[in-house]
Each structure stands twice: as structure tokens, then as C-alpha cells.
Amino acid sequence: MDKSDDIDTNRPSFMFSPLVVPKGSVQLENGGLYQRFQHGTNYFDASETQVRLGLTKRTELQMFVPYYVSLQQKGSSDNLSGVTDLNEVGIKYQVGPILKKLQLSVIPSVNIPTGDRAIAGPGAQGVLRAPWSYPLSSKWSIMGMQSILLLNGGRDVQYQPDFMLNRAVGQKVSVFAEYVGFFTQQAPSLQLSHFGGVYKLKPHHQVDLHFGFGLDKTSPAAFIGTGYSYRFDRLPW
């Protein structure tokens, strides 16, 4: 991407963009989320903030700064709250475009154990993601991301398949429909259907709204979130 291009964000979808932010730019992607589980537990978090720093034409540094999480169980005083780790500190390398249209990137990263263990789990956790996108027309695109996470100090492996259909509506709006699964060794699967959209207030300012539903008994019954993202282009390189 160049600094003349409009903002392109990872949020609000679960999949990340395969594009890196422009060299010498920093992008802040912020949001909050509410989830309602089928057994009555409520989940809140704020403010999810991902920092993305353009290093070269094809690489960026990215990370999620720690944010607050609260789990409130219906009819129980055994509630849980705390702060997450410094998550997914890593480098995105943009491989594409391949054959002029297919965009692809690879993102190795690590979760650094700085937060509450009851929230984030034990030890460092390795993450490898590979997001991609392919335009079907000037308005429609298919997208996806394959991810592998090493959890519980590397003792458990989680696979996350993600597929998404995106449609541009004019110059400022786009909407999406997404499927994502979380398949972990020795744990029930979690699968979600996810929908949302973004609106560009200005070329470097974006707001988003998204919601979704669980597809199995262990998933949230429903969730909704919103966010705001901004790109700064005045770094000295």
C-alpha cells in the first residue's frame, strides 16, 4: 500500500487483511465487544487496540496491547475480570500480489505473558497466520485466513479456518459475511457466523459495526461490537 491509498484494516472481521500498512505509517485499530453465551455468561472487553507500524514496502510490525476483559456468570458470584497479555507481537510479510490479483501474507507472532493468567492462560503462545484475498469483480471479493496457535505452553494446538465474502458499496462502505472456526486439541470446537460493515469517514478514518451468532453449543449465542480506526502517515521514514 501507498500513503495515497485509503485505510485498510484487520478489524472488524476475525481474519486479518493480507495488505501491510504503508511504510512510515502507524495505524491504530480500536474496538469493544459484548458476547452472550447460551448458559447465561456475559463477556465484555474494552478497548481492543491493535497497533500496526509500516516498516518497509512489504513488512509491518503489529501487536495487540493489553485490554480489559470481564466475564459475568448468571446467578453466580464467581465472576472473572482482568487484563490480557501483550498479544500477537509479530511481523507481517506481504507475499502478494500473486498472478496480479491474489493477495497473500504470512504473520508469525507470539503472545507475551504480561496479563492475568486466569484470562490469558499460561506462558508464551506462538501464532502463525496466513490471510489472503482474491477479487471476483470491482465490488465482490472472497477472502480467508488459515491460522495455527500453540496454546498452554505449546501442549495444545488450535486450528482456525476462516472464510469471508466481502462487498464494496460505493467508495466509503463495505460489508462482509464470515465463517470462522476454533478447533483445539482436547477441547470442544467453537464455530461462528459473523456479519458486519465499515464506513470510511475520511480516507484515513474508519468506523465499524459487527455482530454474529454461534453455530454450536459451546459458542456464544450472540455477540456485537463496534470500533474506530485511524492511520497516521507522518513518521520520518
Question: What is the arithmetic mean of pLDDT over 154-172?
Answer: 95
14: which residues sit within 8 A by CB, 6+ positions away? 145, 160, 162, 178, 180, 192, 194
pLDDT at 162 over 80: yes
Q: Is the pLDDT of residue 114 over 80?
A: yes
Q: Which one is predicted more confidently, 118 or 202?
A: 202
Report pLDDT for 237. Answer: 62
| pLDDT tens string 197-233 | 999 999 999 999 999 999 998 899 999 999 999 999 9
Give the pairing type, strands 220-232 and 205-214. Answer: antiparallel
pLDDT tens per residue across span 44-101: 998 899 999 999 999 999 999 999 999 988 777 778 899 999 999 999 999 989 988 9
* Average pLDDT along the chain: 94
Residue 30 contacts residue 47 (beta carbons within 8 Å): yes
141 or 76, which is more confident?
Answer: 141
Say how many Å lie between the first and final Cα of the chain, rounded. Answer: 15
Assigned CATH for 26-232 = 2.40.160.40
Region of 40 on the Ramachandran plot (φ > 0 left; ψ -120 to 50 alpha; else beta):
left
- Alpha-carbon span 55 to 26, nearest angstrom: 9
C-alpha angle with apex 113: 184 to 226, nearest 5 degrees?
A: 70
> Residue range 7-32: average pLDDT?
97
* Vertex 107 angle, CA 106 and 109, to 5°: 155
Grid cell locating 165: 465474502
Model pTM? Answer: 0.93
